Chains A and B, each alone.
Chain A
Amino acid sequence: AQSVTQLGSHVSVSEGALVLLRCNYSSSVPPYLFWYVQYPNQGLQLLLKYTTGATLVKGINGFEAEFKKSETSFHLTKPSAHMSDAAEYFCAVSWFDGNQFYFGTGTSLTVIP
């Protein structure tokens, strides 16, 4: 069963515009939620995570995400896109008793000058 869904495999925004990348999960037990970024020919880098506590989490490079349990969502946002944000973004879930992440299929972000 698909645990993580990322809507939109490709998203294009203009430089300076809002970035919104969508992630929904399916689980009866609230998971831990993560966003990773992957630049071309690179490994994945942790952007931010939600495990417990405040549902709005801030990450590196000005990104933030909000855990909404009622919507089973963890969308990633950034107020103003920069050219250097162009990359592949992966949403991932895990659980307290697990040892692996389940990744979405990724969203490729293009930033238009």
Chain B
Amino acid sequence: DTGVSQDPRHKITKRGQNVTFRCDPISEHNRLYWYRQTLGQGPEFLTYFQNEAQLEKSRLLSDRFSAERPKGSFSTLEIQRTEQGDSAMYLCASSQGQGTYYGYTFGSGTRLTVV
């Protein structure tokens, strides 16, 4: 068990480019979550998967954002046509069972800078 892994750790991209982040949860965890954290703020919920099904999406997840978890294991978060306002830390977390009761295990995050 190596914890929740996120790749890359840092990404610098030009405005308008597409970016994709990957998250590998703890292998036995069936639930996976994406959060966004901007400077000086707490994390904000983006979306949640149970196995391969995306069960909940925040209104923060605009049409430019898409998340997948194709085989119920790793997940990807894609941002199309990036904007400067997308600059943030993107955090992935996983849990076995109800994470909001037991708590999540977070990854170290992917820091996105849009220039």
Contacts and interface: CB of A to CB of B under 8 A. Distances in A.
Contacts of B93: 43-44
B101 A32 contact: yes
B85 interface: no
B4 A43 contact: yes
A103 B99 contact: no
The contact size tier of chain A is 20 to 34
A32 B41 CA distance: 20
A94 B43 contact: no
Given A42-B108, A44-B106, A96 B42 contact: no
Interface residues of B, number: 27
Given A32-B101, A49-B103, A99-B56, A106 B45 contact: no
Given A44-B104, A103-B42, A103-B43, 8 more contacts: A36-B106, A41-B111, A42-B109, A46-B104, A90-B42, A104-B42, A105-B42, A106-B41
29 contacts: A4-B42, A9-B40, A32-B100, A32-B101, A36-B106, A41-B108, A42-B108, A43-B106, A43-B107, A43-B109, A44-B43, A44-B91, A46-B103, A46-B104, A90-B43, A98-B100, A99-B33, A99-B48, A99-B55, A99-B99, A101-B45, A101-B100, A101-B104, A102-B45, A103-B42, A104-B42, A105-B42, A106-B40, A106-B41
